[in-house]
């Protein structure tokens, strides 16, 4: 790379970092938290003995897992205005990513809950707990340890998926790199920097996952 390319990279390091902090990370965090809440309710609905509720949860999961995330983004941002529902790019991205995380994480949450021994439910009922109390105080804490690795992978995937928000005009990391590279057509250099930013974020999240798994393992009976 010549001097002008290095100068271009140096000039855009801060704007790209700022876009990461201002848009990419908040988009990831907000979408993941909302997605987990959706996933919990969908997983419980999926396990429900009320068949219409269970079928509705199955349908939602099937739709989310059976369609591309990019199509979901386009439907929410470009499609909904035909029904007079106009959303700004950032909220539209949050809705799309949250629904997507909810669909994928629901099966992770459901499998984690089912992996807890039935005896834990029976013991909870034996001491007079209601279903919500047993779920909140006994089942979910145990299920969360099992769910950490797959949910961490979902979070890491979400970080990378936020790059798709550039297609609906969210000025996150990738779109900032695109805009900076457009005048000089030096896409390789700036896309490479963007890739390094994504990589570092995923490395940090992977390290956090390992620490969390280690911490949770200390509370497991041997």
pLDDT tens column, 195-207: 999 999 999 999 9
pLDDT tens column, 39-82: 999 999 999 989 999 999 999 999 999 999 999 999 999 999 99
Q: CA 73, CA 96: separation in Å to the nearest integer?
A: 5
CB 128 within 8 A of CB 140: no
Indicate the pTM of the whole model: 0.91
pLDDT of 1 over the 70 cut:
no
Run of H or E residues at 208: helix 187-217
Looking at the domain covering 3-217, what would its CATH class be? Answer: mainly alpha
- Residue (of 107, 85, 86) closest to 35 by Cα position: 107
pLDDT tens column, 78-133: 999 999 999 999 999 999 999 999 999 999 999 999 998 888 888 888 888 888 88
């Amino acid at each position: 790379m010549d001097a002008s390319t290095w100068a271009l990279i140096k000039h855009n390091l801060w704007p790209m970092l700022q876009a990461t902090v201002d848009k990419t990370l908040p988009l990831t965090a907000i979408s993941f938290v909302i997605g987990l809440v959706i996933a919990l309710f969908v997983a419980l609905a999926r396990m429900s003995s009320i068949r219409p509720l269970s079928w509705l949860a199955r349908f939602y999961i099937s739709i989310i897992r059976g369609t591309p995330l990019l199509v979901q983004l386009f439907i929410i941002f470009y499609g909904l205005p035909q029904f007079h529902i106009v959303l700004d790019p950032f909220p539209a991205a949050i809705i799309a990513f949250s629904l997507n995380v909810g669909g994928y994480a629901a099966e992770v949450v459901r499998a984690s809950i089912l992996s807890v021994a039935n005896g834990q439910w029976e013991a909870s009922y034996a001491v007079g707990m209601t279903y919500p109390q047993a779920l909140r105080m006994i089942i979910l804490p145990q299920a969360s340890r099992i769910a950490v690795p797959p949910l961490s992978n979902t979070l890491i995937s979400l970080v990378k998926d936020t790059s798709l928000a550039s297609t609906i005009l969210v000025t996150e990391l990738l779109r900032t790199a695109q805009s900076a590279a457009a005048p000089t057509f030096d896409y390789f250099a700036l896309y490479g920097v963007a890739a390094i930013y994504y990589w570092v974020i995923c490395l940090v999240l992977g390290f956090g996952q390992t620490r969390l798994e280690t911490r949770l393992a200390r509370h497991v009976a041997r």
